[in-house]
Amino acid sequence: MTSPTKAASSGLQRELQAGRFVLTAEVTPPVSTDPAEFIAKALPLKGLATALNVTDGAGAKAHMSSLVASHFLLQNGMEPILQFTCRDRNRIALQGDLIGAAALGIRNLLILGGDDPKNGDQPETKAVFDVNSAGLLAMVHRMRTEQALPPGTEIRGGFDLVIGGADLPIDPPANWDPKAIKSKADAGADFIQTQFCMDIDIVRRYAARLLDLGIAQRLPILIGVAPIPSVRSGRWMKEKLFGTIIPESLIQRLEAAADPKTEGIAICVELVQQLAQIPGIAGAHIMAPTFASAVPEVIRRSGVAGTPKAAA
């Protein structure tokens, strides 16, 4: 877990330990061997986002390796969060890539299961899942703690990785026991990024419950939000994207707007500013795969990056 007494291993961890509100964003590597395309997409976020998630086979489709793309970000002065899925590799391959990531200077990981190949463009693909996301998270934590592979083989050199996990916010019922996020905290996660949750009242109740249970004090939570470019996009996310929470009132705002893209940006800015005022919330994770050009504007206009997070 994140500890104020432990030296930070990355800029992201440094900001979280200092209690400053963090804004992260997401970039998807291209289907290209030319890194220039990827860097051009990421550069507008340089100096704005604390760190950039690099997706790993998003949508169960092949792209440039997230490990390689993360390295290109580092070379261009941007801090990556390497998304790392269980879907495509067995534990030996996963451990090798983890050592490779550390060797390249990549420090932040986000451990995920990965999208089901049946939903991708090669549905006959066989998923691996030698370990699940909870097992992989625990494995990485053990490797960094013991500086060794699971059989005991020493890992020479630095292996100070910062481990993130994912969560699906919900409107917590009475006596809700958030077993999934508790297990990730116990397994050694340093931060959590969530699926889209655009209902600020639900976030408040979710955060309050995590504070009551002592979880938000141990594990910084970054809430997923999006600048939604159209009513059609909003409805698709709400109805088709698992775990996404978008209130009907936001869809109606987009529907009534003369320019839905401008309104989508304004809504996202408002949400980010409100998140910064909620005790128990450490930051926002802004995702916009079909409206990436809006993310820098959201970060600039929100004006909350690096501000002290709300006291519990």
pLDDT tens digit sequence for 57-114:
888 788 999 999 999 999 999 999 999 999 999 999 999 999 999 999 999 999 998 8
pTM value > 0.75: yes
Between CA 38 and CA 29 the distance in angstroms is 6
Residue 191 in any domain: the answer is no
User: Exposed, middle or buried by CB within 10 Å (0-12, 13-18, 19+), for 126?
Assistant: exposed
Residue 284 belongs to some domain of the structure: no
Under-50 pLDDT residues of the chain:
1-4
Q: Residue 292: inside a domain, yes or no? A: no
CATH code of residue 97: 3.20.20.220
DSSP symbols for 59-86: GG---S-HHHHHHHHHHTT--EEEEEES
CA-angle at 222, arms to 310 and 57, nearest 5°? 170
**pLDDT for the residue numbered 95:** 97
**Within a domain: residue 194?**
no
Q: Is residue 214 part of a domain?
A: no
Q: Assign 115 to helix, strand or coil.
A: coil
Q: Count Cβ neighbours within 10 Å for each residue of 236-258 and write b for 16 or more, e otherwise.
A: ebbeeeeebbbeeebbebbeebe
Number of domains in the chain: 1
Does residue 23 sit within a domain?
Answer: yes
Q: Where are the beta strands (DSSP E) in 8-118?
A: 22-27, 51-54, 80-85, 108-112
Domain limits for position 61: 11-167
In-domain check, residue 54:
yes
Q: Is there a domain that residue 309 lies in?
A: no
